[in-house]
Structure 1
Amino acid sequence: MYLKRLTIYGFGKFHDRTFSLTAGFNVMLGPNEAGKSTLTQFISAILFGFPTKKHPELRYEPLDGSRFGGEVVMTLTGTDYLVSRVDGPRGGKVTLHNCTLDLDLPAANLPRLLAPVDSQLFKNVYAITEPQLSTVFSASKQELIDRLRHVGAVGSDFWLQQAQRLDRSAESLYKPQGRKPQLNQLLQAHQELTAKLAKANATYETYWGLLKEQTEQRHQQAHLRQQLKVQRQIASQYDQQLAMWPIFQQWQKLDAAMAPVPDGFQERDAATLERLENQVKATTAARQETQTQLAQLQEQAQLPPLFQQYLLVTAQVDPLLKQLPDITIAERERRRLQQDRQDLQQRATTLEQQYAVQGQMPRAFSLATTQRVQQLTAKLTLATQKRRRLQQSLNQLNEQYRQQQPGRQRQSNPLADKQIGWLAAGLVVLVGSMLLPATIFKLAGALLGVAVGYYGVFIVDSSTPASRQQQTLEDDIRDVQAQLREGSRTMDQLTSELDDIGDAHGLGNLPVEQWSAAQKAIVEWDRLTQRIEATTAQLTTVDQQVETFRAAVQAALPTLAEVDFSEVLAQLQALQTTQQKLQHQEGDVAATATRLKREQTAVDQAQRAITTFLQTRNLRSATAFYQRYQQAREHENLTAQRAALAQQMGSQLPKLQQVTTHADLMSRATAATNQVVALQHQLDTVTARLATVAGQLEHLTASGTQATLRQRLANLEAQMQAVTQQWLVDRLVSQWIAATLAAASGDRLPQIVKTASQFYGKLTENRYTEIELTSTDLRVRRQDGDWRLVSQLSRGTAEQLDFAIKLAFAVVMAQQVAMPVVIDDGLVNFDAQRRQAAYRLLADISCHVQVILLTADAQVAAGLPTENLMNLTD
């Protein structure tokens, strides 16, 4: 199963939002608070129901008050289903629609479609988050087994409930540390009654001494009986080995004399070789006789020598003659292609000599680059023309300025003389006012003097028409110079951009004016290069065809090996003509040639059969085969004798092979017999003592008090036995249910562990190579062979272990439970290299299960091909 589309009506921060997914690797990229956890909870809520209002933090009710819920389109076994869920009782109101058949289905069908996955299993395995990965520190083998049972066996929930009920019933009967269960109480009563009986027997020291001695003697008796039984078997085996020793020595001699002989040298193989040799002799004699007749007829028919060779190899040459018209055409085509390639290569070399730089041709412009070059060239032309006009204007202004310069030096300024006069008059008035008697008159005179001087200096214009014209020329010159500098900067910028384009396309050594012609040459060179490659490919095909034909001709007719190929074709055409002529002739030559051909074929077949027969046995001659055949017959005789001896010795043979000498075997047999005698004597002594002690105990236990206590103890033990049987029934039935469910799914556990080991090796760059489930914990093997418990791993490495196990569970169970794997920022504790390894692993398993990765890591898109990449902030 995989999800095709998520449509959110209102869920958390999302409203009226749709996400399209593919069946493979999907990446949803977004920073914190972009809604990654919201989407994870949305998928779980739509498929399995909204949490109750007792857990508002898990409901993700819309923040903007829009309709609470959404819909999911999923594909299951080739059928599309639309699941929509909105706010309502018991996890929300659900509608289910079969899109493939356009059929509405009851909402109760949804859990059956998703079975055996429920909300809890989806959360524990398929929805991977960083907090859940940390639970690997407390994970156990039993948790994985329970998940497997839940998925691997239909109806396992009922049987698991029955097993739990039986466990509770058994615990009500007995608990190792309990007091209230019935069997615990009976054990306590048994302990108290035993103590009372012991107290009653405390006065009988003799009784306890005899009872202890009886127990010890019984143990010793049982031990001696067991030892005696074992020792008698050992002694009996040694006796049998002594009887078999002569046969074993004969078997050893045969074993040393045997040499291994390979298969293929049986009597039927010898008969086959003899039949093949007779066949070769008969066909060779017939061929020689026919060859002699043909030679006589050829002398009469005067056939060319090449035709005589042809008659011996017609089976090889006839197929070549059928190919002759095609090969002739191919030869002409090869010459034409060689000439075309030479012409094209010459034209391309001419262009390379003209435009290539250090053996590298420039690159062609794109349409945008061509348009840009044209724009820059036009702007540069206009800028050059403008600069030329400004330079001419500057030269004219400089010439005018130069012509006015000498005249200005000779001219006087009458107004400047007037300024001096006004200044002198003001000074006179100022000095004269100082001589006046009254202060008011002095002040008025001083002001008048200053006014006269100011008028003379600042009011009277000291410039002349010539100076004003000179100033105008200077201003014009500075303006033109500024325009020239601006034009130079523009031209430099345009030239620099053109130089960059030229350097980028390998045209830096050519003027811009030649770029157009160079581009045409580059296009022509590219077209020539493509034609050369196509011509070379055609020529290679034709060359291979011609050379294959030529090699076949040389193998069949060695006399044509040193002949030019055109002459070879002529010879073959002549041979074909001769053949055609002979086909239309009647007579002894044609009949004899045909018979010789058949006989040569028969000889070749018989000879090949012998060669194949010998090669399959790594031999070069029939003599070597007959030598091996004789060895094989001798080996068969020895093998039969050795097998008969081994059968006669039976199970004693492996034991005799461990004995070095006959004296050693005799010594072992004697020691075993003596040990049997000694043990029998000890057993007789202990049995006699037990009879004496039993009589004494019977006499001592005749007391009524002891008899009553023993009876009560016997009754209590009977009651304990009944309760124990009931406890065993409940416990064994519970274990039987667990074993049955484990048989339905437990075969997948080794496969999951093996797959998880492979994934864990990829995630840790083969630093850890194997995962093992113990009865209480998980442990991993390092590359150097040392084992580490999960508690000994770093947080990131432990989370990578849990990540590998969950991915392995999803992949192995994909045939039965094809649920998508949703990862919500679960790789935050991975370092950069292992995070990239995790991304590659997710891309690899996406061909088995759908992967939906929600992450804030922007590096996930770098170098990782994803079928679907979405940005949550768009």
Structure 2
Amino acid sequence: MYLKTLTLFGFGQFHDRTFNLERGLNVLVGPNEAGKSTLTQFITAILFGFPTKKHPELRYEPLDGSRFGGAITFVQDATQYQVTRVDGPRGGTVTLRNLTLDLELPASQLAKLLAPVDAQLFQNVYALNEMRLGQVFQASKQDLTTHLQHVGAVGSDDWLVQAKRLDQRAEEAYKPQGRKPLLNDLLRQHQDLQAKLDKANTAYQTYWQLLQDQATAKHRQAALREQLATHRQTVTHWTQLQQQWPTFQRWQALGTAQQQPTTGFTQADATELERLQNQLTASQATAKTNQSRLKDLQAHAQLPALFQQYLKVSEQVDPLFDQVPAVTAQAQERTRLMATVQELTQRSTAIEQQVANANGQMPRPFSLATTQELKQQQADLQLANQKRRRLQQELNRLNDQYQQAQPTRQQRNPLADKQLGWLAAGLLVLVGAMFLPGTLFKLVGAALGIAVGYYGVFIVDGETPASRELQGLTADIRDVQAQLREGGQRIDALTNRIDAIGEAHGLDHLPHEQWFGAQAAIGEWERLTQQLQATHTQLTALQATLDQFQQAVTAVLPQLAGQSVTSQTTQLRQLQTTQQRLVAQNGELAGLTDRIQQDHTAVARAQQAVRTFLQTRNVADTAAFYQRYQQIQNQDNVTAQRQALATQLGTTLADLQALPDQATLDQHVTTAQQAQQTTQQQLDATTTQLATLSGQLEHLTASGTQTALRQRLANLETQMRTVTQGWLTDRLTSRWISATLVAASGDRLPRIVDQASEYYAQLTENRYTKLELTSETLRVQRADGTWLPVGQLSRGTAEQLDLAMKLAFAVVMQAQAAMPLVIDDGLVNFDARRRQAAYALLLTLSQHLQIILLTADPVAAQAAAGKYVVRLTTQEGD
């Protein structure tokens, strides 16, 4: 099986890209971020499914929002297939077509075409990178053996995971030297219970005697508690009577009060007297009010001077009365507008102080186009400044490297000595040629001397690392300086353009950072200015109306000239009120005298009703009535208090009446308390005895009674048998799985190890010649015959071992699992010579396998001369 085309709809940084591949070695060369890891993950995802959204870093969803997914065309058994996978549930939506027959196949057929390779085996063996090659170096001996069993036995992953889970569960149940496992803890509990049972058997007779004594003491304790409860009830009864004795004495004292008659002095009688007095008071108040009103009418008969002037011009003044409400509202509106003018003036002045220039002129606002242009200019200026800082830092670093690369005068320059030697040799050859016979020999010798000197002075100097480093640094410094000059010109141009915008809009007195903030203030100032103009217009019109009203008032009533509008409207309202009152006054005087006479009659009638009420009760005045009424109320209160005390005493009242005096009651309380105290002492002694017996029993049965201990021991032994059976089942099952996997991989694993030994020798230039794999460890043999464990290898050498094992697996298992090898920068830890050896090995194996090598090393393209080479760049991946 080999891959023919990779079509990426949208995957990571790629969208709408197609890569063609060949059957043998395919080298895709590109720098970092060119998309090498993206292509590796693309092949895995399209063939075996997208990772879940719980791992977004592995999904490589497109950055530009294009359709997520792609298609791979591959050839298997001379048949061409195309698998397409796009975003969807359960690893994506898959479409499979047989391009040779132009037939669409069910998606489930893909797994059968790829079998026995699944996603985990593909990632462990066929998709190689630095991290996965490093697993051999990081693994323990047992982990390494398990890893190679993955390689040697296809489909063994689930069984190995199950075996590991069984081993962990068995170790949680029992360890020979452990303390926390369950079976170890049960063994300790069994030993403790057996010791407690032996101890309980020894003290059996003493235990039963203590139990009998404890039962007798408990019976006595129960009887004493019943007696104590009876004594407590008696004490409580006599104590309650003792506490209620003062209340009983107050009840007796209230029973001796004399009862007096209450006829004519009830609450209803008091209410009736209060009603009659209220009628008398109301009649007197009405008479007084009418009398006062009569005096007021007589006093108002004299009219003020302004009203007398009004009577002369009433026809001209009456129309002004109708204008008073409107004029009053207009005066209030004028006051409000003046306050608004003051507030708007203050706010606009504050903005002018913040934004206006030294001449007091306000800047002009930006248009939308100017705003967008200024934002773009400022963003470009910020980027240009950042680039200049980075270039300056780079220039400083290059200058430091250049200074460090310059040789000092104190240091001896081996190159200079070598150049002098070559120059001297050239001069000797040139001089010696002059003494040769024949012109031809002289010319040849002179040319040879000149060539030797030229080589020593120029060729040797140009091939030294130091001279090449200085030349490279000089070129880099000149390039950075040129970029700095271009950046400075760019910054000057942007700064000049920004300054021109600020000067054109009157913002040159403010820093650039405040221009956008000032735009809001400028807009607010323009709005306030418009509001201020509109308010002034309203105020001018309103003032003209008020002035017209004042001129009309002054023309008919000269006495009001020079007064404010408020004063004039107030006096006009007073004139109107006086006019209306005089109209009604003439009719009111006519009936007021009759009402005063009726008031006097009502007062006399009310006074007579009060006298009659007091005479029928034989009291002289209202004070005497209320004194007699209060006495009767007090008598009723005493009766209510005695009834409340009787209710408070309740059933104890009869018991208290049966006692001759308080001394007898106190004697009953003392006798009951002494009986309770005696019983309490006996109960305390019995309780103490029970506590002593319980302590002795607890000491004897600290580990439990015999029956309980035997039952606990039997339960524990049952649990131990169950745990032991589970432990044996897990351990034996794990051993069976391991033995089965070893047997399953036994026919292929030796071939894989032999082939890996051959590849490993090629990769290490025959420094290591043989591999040996046992059930417990993996070791390698050096050329001198010394065996070394994997743990003593360097990281690069260990990665070469893992590469050799996986290449061997791919070759040996080609008949059962023919899959392409995808290597993503997996050789970065190899030195130059071993990397060349790896390229040569891959080139050889590509005659039988498809190998897709994604690398940043340009040497790989040279090593793969004549093979399919694709050059990736970061621009291509965008």
| Same fold per superposition (TM over 0.5) | no
TM-score of the superposition, structure 1-length normalised?
Answer: 0.38
